[in-house]
Chain A
Amino acid sequence: ILNVEQSPQSLHVQEGDSTNFTCSFPSSNFYALHWYRWETAKSPEALFVMTLNGDEKKKGRISATLNTKEGYSYLYIKGSQPEDSATYLCAFSNSGAGSYQLTFGKGTKLSVIP
């Protein structure tokens, strides 16, 4: 079983603060790294898929970077808003036969305080 670690497990920030969290994954046989946002009572929603070392993706105030050589990705949220409150999941796939199979981290639960 592949190990995907996310930190911190949870954090509380004030509205307007910027924040970031980390996802660590195995650096061998890398295929793709996914980020999802999971709001309470909703389905997990895809944010980014990254495949190349050095990839940076951006969607509004949220951005992500990828380092496949050392096996980590950062997710950044600039100027957090209450609607950003959610659990953020990262998921890793390797280049073997199961490249369509994702291994998820346990998530980082973000609470943005108005």
Chain B
Amino acid sequence: DVKVTQSSRYLVKRTGEKVFLECVQDMDHENMFWYRQDPGLGLRLIYFSYDVKMKEKGDIPEGYSVSREKKERFSLILESASTNQTSMYLCASSERGETQYFGPGTRLLVL
């Protein structure tokens, strides 16, 4: 079975803190993605990566950065957390054009 894991299920941070969300997949997938999900807005793509050290902006990259040093790991970084970044964050991985497999999500609360 494909497994995508995320470092935390729940996280509480303070405004201005630097936040790291980690995602690991075990299927040797080329592509990895970070989404956020907010009520009434659906899943929105923040960043994605199609290879190690490669990254592309998604639809809402502002306030975020990413790192992909190893194929299996894709990190989302909130440089200076703000309250409007309170959300559910989902990581996914896939082969090109194929089904995306999702992690369990991290619910982040920024106070």
Residues of A within 8 A of B (CB): 1, 31-32, 34, 42-46, 49, 89, 91, 93, 99-107
Chain B 43-86, CB-CB to A under 8 Å as 1, else 0, gives 11100101000000011000000000000000000000000000
Minimum Cβ distance to chain A for residue B92 (Å): 8
Residues of B contacting A103 in the complex (Cβ-Cβ under 8 angstroms):
45
Could you list which residues of chain B lie within 8 angstroms of chain A, going by C-beta atoms?
4, 30-31, 33, 35, 40-45, 48, 50, 58-59, 90, 94-105
Q: Are B97 and A31 in contact (CB under 8 A)?
A: yes
Contact partner of B104 (CB less than 8 A), chosen from A43, A91, A93, is A43
Q: How far is the CA of A49 from the CA of B94 in the complex (A)?
A: 13
Q: Which 5 A-B pairs have the closest CB atoms?
A: A106-B42, A43-B102, A104-B43, A46-B99, A100-B96
Contact present for A100 and B90 (CB under 8 Å):
no
Q: How long is the Cα–Cα vector from A41 to B102 in the complex, in angstroms?
A: 13
Find out whether the CB atom of B100 lies under 8 angstroms from the CB atom of A46: yes
- Pair B96/A99 contact, Cβ less than 8 Å: yes
Task: Assess the A34–B99 pair: CB atoms within 8 A.
Answer: yes
Q: Which of A34, A99, A100, A106 contacts B40 (CB 8 A)?
A: A106
- Find the B residue at minimum CB distance from A45: B102
Partner of A49, one of B45, B50, B98, B104: B98
Given known contacts A43-B102, A49-B99, is B94 in contact with A100 (CB within 8 Å)? yes
What residue of chain B has the Cβ atom nearest to residue A34's Cβ?
B99
- Cβ contact of B100, chosen from A99, A102, A106, A107, cutoff 8 A: A102
Determine which of A42, A99, A106 lies in contact with B97 in the assembled complex, contact meaning CB atoms within 8 Å.
A99
Q: How far is the CA of A104 from the CA of B97 in the complex (A)?
A: 14
Query: Which residue of chain B lies nearest to A47 when distances are taken between CB atoms in the complex?
Result: B99
